[in-house]
């Protein structure tokens, strides 16, 4: 098993964690957000946590409320260098406690960028793509990327980051569609993708009211569809964040779909000022050169 460890990077740092919370610096703003992972006590004292400019409180219905000492900072810009190009990721704090990126995915962004670089001009696919940091990472290496999400709002958000970024010859097509429906269509048409990232939620809604996603019901079907659209020398990274799902399960799902697994492990975050690590999900990687992309 090989872990992908997200270390602090310019514009983001995990300062402390504990008691179901994490203290982070995001684009220069210190915030206190909820997280199910930190079961331990915080390292820093309450005074350090009290310096946060904002704290989000989660509600029982899954939503949340931000409490700001002054005011909501509004739209922020996080410059991010990858593969010699500069992305400008547009951030803002949502009622769900999100900010527009998942920093624990940063090693995945770099892995995808390396995979595209190794292939030259190619086609990328980002499923359940949210605001598209992974899509921009592939495009920055020259890929034509298809970014698929059923939520129109995050597509608009992602476009704003793309417009603010240097993508060189790369491009992103923002596709408002249910991911499973998109894969079915691609398989019927014979479309193939060289670099694929799929990072599904535990549950969600598709574009249409009758389209539902439940990881425990649809995960294997997703892997089967990925196998049907992956180019012969392609690479796929499949992630999961649902409680209780282990990396062995993700690897087994890919293997059952006929996709040999090169690497599987945990997605981890490291703290800025100490050696603790925090679990943030699991992943598995399949492809001819997949093993060499880790830490390259």
Alpha carbon separation from 243 to 35, 58, 253 (Å, rounded): 12, 18, 17
Mean per-residue pLDDT, 1-5:
90
Sheet harboring 261-270: ordered strands across?
A: 4-6, 261-270, 277-287, 230-240, 193-198, 123-127, 144-149, 171-176
111 contacts 195 by C-beta, under 8 angstroms:
no
Domain identity same for 164 and 43 = no
Q: 227 in a domain, yes or no?
A: yes
103 contacts 10 by C-beta, under 8 angstroms:
no
Domain identity same for 61 and 81 = no
Total tally of structural domains belonging to the chain: 2
Of 33, 68, 103, the last residue of a domain is 68
Q: 2 in a domain, yes or no?
A: no
Q: What is residue 60's predicted lDDT score, i.e. its pLDDT?
A: 76
Residue 240 to residue 251: CA distance in whole angstroms: 11
Domain identity same for 173 and 50 = no
Domain identity same for 93 and 135 = yes
Indicate the range of 56-60, 135-139, 183-187, 283-287 predicted with least confidence: 56-60
* DSSP letter string, 235-279: EEEEEE-STT--HHHHHHHHHHTT--EEEEEEEEEE-SSSS-EEE
Domain identity same for 37 and 168 = no
Q: 1 in a domain, yes or no?
A: no
- Rounded (10°) CA dihedral 91, 169, 173, 233: -110
114 contacts 93 by C-beta, under 8 angstroms:
no
- Give the predicted TM-score (pTM) of the model: 0.95
Of 30, 51, 68, the last residue of a domain is 68
Distance of CA 169 to the CA centre of its chain: 23
Domain boundaries, position 286: 76-293
Contacts of 124 (CB under 8 A, 6+ apart): 112, 116, 135, 138, 139, 143, 144, 145, 146, 193, 194, 195, 196, 197
Q: 3 in a domain, yes or no?
A: no
- Give the pairing type, strands 171-176 and 144-149: parallel
What percent of the chain stands above pLDDT 90? Answer: 88
**Kind and range of the H or E element at 49?**
helix 46-49
Q: 125 in a domain, yes or no?
A: yes
Domain identity same for 256 and 277 = yes
Mean per-residue pLDDT, 28-32:
98
Domain identity same for 138 and 241 = yes
Q: 234 in a domain, yes or no?
A: yes
Q: What is residue 291's predicted lDDT score, i.e. its pLDDT?
A: 83
Q: 244 in a domain, yes or no?
A: yes
Domain identity same for 56 and 183 = no
Give the domain CATH number at 56. Answer: 2.60.40.1180
Residue 128 has pLDDT above 70, yes or no: yes
DSSP code at position 56: E
Give the domain CATH number at 80. Answer: 3.40.50.150
Domain identity same for 208 and 83 = yes
Domain identity same for 222 and 143 = yes
Q: Mean pLDDT over all residues of the chain? A: 95
Q: What is residue 296's predicted lDDT score, i.e. its pLDDT?
A: 60
Would you call 145 helix, strand, or coil by DSSP? strand
Mean per-residue pLDDT, 205-224:
87
pLDDT digit string, tens, across residues 223-274 = 999 999 999 999 999 999 988 999 999 999 999 999 999 999 999 999 999 9
| Residue 99: Cβ within 10 Å count | 23
Q: What is residue 250's predicted lDDT score, i.e. its pLDDT?
A: 98
Domain identity same for 173 and 119 = yes
Domain identity same for 193 and 59 = no
Residue 72 has pLDDT above 70, yes or no: yes
């Amino acid at each position: 098993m090989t872990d992908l460890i997200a270390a602090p990077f310019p514009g983001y740092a995990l300062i402390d964690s504990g008691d179901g919370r994490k203290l982070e610096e995001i684009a220069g703003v210190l915030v206190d957000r909820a997280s199910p992972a930190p079961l331990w006590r915080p390292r820093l004292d309450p005074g350090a946590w009290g310096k946060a400019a904002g704290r989000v409180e989660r509600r029982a219905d899954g939503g949340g409320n931000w409490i700001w000492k002054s005011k909501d900072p509004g739209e922020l810009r996080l410059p991010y260098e990858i593969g010699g190009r500069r992305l400008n990721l547009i951030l803002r704090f949502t009622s769900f406690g999100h900010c527009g990126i998942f920093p624990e995915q940063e090693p995945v962004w770099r892995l995808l960028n390396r995979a595209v670089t190794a292939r030259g001009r190619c086609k990328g696919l980002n499923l359940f793509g949210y605001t598209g940091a992974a899509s921009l990472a592939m495009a920055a290496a020259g890929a034509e990327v298809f970014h698929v999400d059923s939520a129109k709002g995050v597509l608009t958000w992602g476009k704003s980051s793309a417009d603010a970024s240097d993508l060189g010859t790369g491009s992103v097509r923002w596709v408002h569609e249910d991911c499973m429906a998109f894969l079915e269509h691609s398989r019927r048409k014979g479309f193939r993708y060289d670099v694929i990232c799929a990072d599904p939620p535990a549950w969600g809604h598709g574009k249409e009211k009758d389209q539902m996603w439940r990881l425990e019901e649809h995960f294997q079907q997703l892997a089967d569809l990925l196998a049907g659209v992956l180019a012969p020398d392609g690479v796929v990274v499949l992630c999961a964040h649902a409680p209780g799902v282990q990396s062995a399960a993700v690897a087994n799902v890919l293997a059952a779909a006929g996709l040999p697994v090169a690497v599987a492990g945990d997605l981890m975050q490291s703290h800025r000022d100490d050696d603790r690590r925090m679990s943030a999900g699991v992943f598995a990687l399949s492809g001819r050169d997949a093993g060499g992309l880790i830490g390259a």
